[in-house]
Amino acid sequence: MAKIMFQGTGSSVGKSILVTALCRILTQDGYSVVPFKSQNMSLNSYITLDGKEMGRAQVLQAYACNREPEAYMNPILLKPTGDKKCQIIVNGEVYGNSTAMEYHNMKLQFRDMLKEQFEKLEEEFDIVVMEGAGSPAEINLRDRDIVNMGMAELVDAPVFLIGDIDKGGVFASLAGTMMLLSEDEKQRVKGTVINKFRGDVEILKPGLDMLEDIIHIPCAGVVPHFTLDLEDEDGAVELNTKITDKIDVVVIKLPRMSNFTDVDALALEEDISLRFVTKLEELGTPDMLIIPGSKNTIEDLMYLRNSGIEKAIKEYAENGLLMGICGGYQMLGKSLKDPYFTESSIEEVEGMNLLDIETVFEEKKITTRAKALRKVASVNDLNNFIGFKGEVYGYEIHMGTCTYGEKAKPMFEIYEKNKEATLYNDGAINKKGNVFGTYIHGVFDGVEFREYVANLLRERKGIDKKVSSTYENIREKELDKLADLVRNSIDMELIYKTLGIKGKKEK
């Protein structure tokens, strides 16, 4: 059936969010739509209902299509473990670990699988909206490309090229990208899109005309710079570093931080300012401190130790509210052991000793969608997390498993994983109730726990309690806003002409 691909002049030009917008627009127009990104590199991943792992960008795109995320939307996911190494996820499951060169040499073996999966999507859906990665003009990678022009050629897809004007040099980047493409590749490009524009479009128009004269491709539209309450796309994103509201929540930006979107829902709460810090002097005295997930927990712990941030965290934990998620949770324990060198070259390291748990990294990765409860007796201390009693949901992605010491109490009891009944403990909380951790990514997405945490922080600041909104409802409204903004900014007639269909689907 119909297909279209968005590629960019470089990373973080807005490919993911514009694909998301087009997915919602075409879905609104009555078509069955599915996103597809053959290869994604990201530490921001997600677990599907059947326990498969995929990139978060395609998750948002799936929601834009009113679909449950599935691993076939992102068949290959690369999760960097160092500057030259990564874990390879194929069709949602761990394929192996490799160096950059090893993966570069093995890429072509995935071509047949990608083509076969794409053809199945063409049979099942009206429209496949594809996303490239980085730039198609990486000429040193062209002979083994399976994500940009190589993928477009494999399935004979037309391409729109996106440039980011906010960085400056957008005309040069678009013209330069086209110059480096082969003649066949140039024929695939049906239009350009200029993204993140601030200002008067009339001033820009002469440049658009000159660009079209140079590359002989029409501009399909100019999308204004916008801010919406949607999770950040993969790749290099600008994370907030300033206090912008009454309640200061700090997230430690680890060198190998993963799943930073775990805190997105919390940032939507009124009165809460969420900021990311990388240096000791930026820490300040936050109302809550969060250590997020990590793809290399031991090495990130050593970074905190060597930078002096760990000492500050331990001092903060005497009275502050401290939370660890996945790798951050593991760091709070007594020890971390990696006997199989699963994540790093360090076999064992002492933890922060803030929770009475020990972590051992295993060879097999745990990937589950989970629902859990916090079952506790009634308490009067409203200045800690012990008082929460309710349900949370999210997903687990970890190689490590934890054992409890005598002083550790489980934070949650997981009762469902991958839609099947189960019963096992998750996370831990200290006796005082101000330090805790969990393996559950997306723990703030559920309204009960998020509202409890937000109101606990408000109470400690002398602010009135508030009722939280359901995260899913907020996301749906924001996706519709995104669709309206992009629909009014690009030439949908050209998009439909390129797709080979007539616009809104007749009922």
Please choose, from the candidates 417, 245, 408, 445, the residue with its C-alpha nearest in 3D space to the C-alpha of residue 330.
Answer: 408
Reading the block at residue 291, the tokens are 């250590």
Per run of 10 residues, the mean pLDDT along the chain (length 507 residues) is 95 94 98 97 92 94 97 95 87 92 93 96 97 95 95 98 95 97 97 96 95 97 91 64 91 92 91 94 96 94 97 96 97 96 90 97 92 64 60 94 90 92 93 92 94 92 93 93 97 97 84
Residue partners of 143: CB distance under 8 A and separation at least 6:
none
Does this model's pTM top 0.75? My answer is yes
- In the residue annotation, 219 being an active-site residue is answered as no
Tell me the backbone φ, ψ of residue 151, rounded to 5 degrees.
-75, -40
Residue 369: the pLDDT is 94
Scan for tokens 């309640």, then name that residue: 247
pLDDT tens by residue, 67-118: 999 999 999 999 988 778 899 999 999 999 999 899 999 999 999 999 999 9
Fold matches, 2-230+476-499 and 247-462: yes
Rounded to whole angstroms, how far apart are CA atoms 483 and 493? 15
Residue 504: the pLDDT is 87
Spell out the domain ranges in the chain. Answer: 2-230+476-499, 247-462
- In the residue annotation, 326 being an active-site residue is answered as yes
| Annotated active-site residue in 86, 219, 326, 402 | 326
Residue 111: the pLDDT is 96
Burial label, 66 (beta-carbon count in 10 A; 0-12, 13-18, 19+) = middle
CATH of 247-462, one of 3.40.50.2000, 1.10.10.10, 3.30.70.380, 3.40.50.880: 3.40.50.880
CB 319 within 8 A of CB 460: no
Q: Hey, which residues does 445 pair with through a beta bridge?
A: none
pLDDT tens by residue, 122-148: 999 999 999 999 999 999 999 999 999
Please say whether the structural domain 2-230+476-499 has been given the CATH code 3.30.420.10.
Answer: no
Q: Which long-range contacts (CB under 8 A, 24 or more apart) does 94-100 make?
A: 94/365
Rounded to whole angstroms, how far apart are CA atoms 258 and 263? 11
- 378 DSSP assignment: -
CA distances from 428 to 43, 80, 316, 330, 355 (A): 24, 28, 18, 10, 7
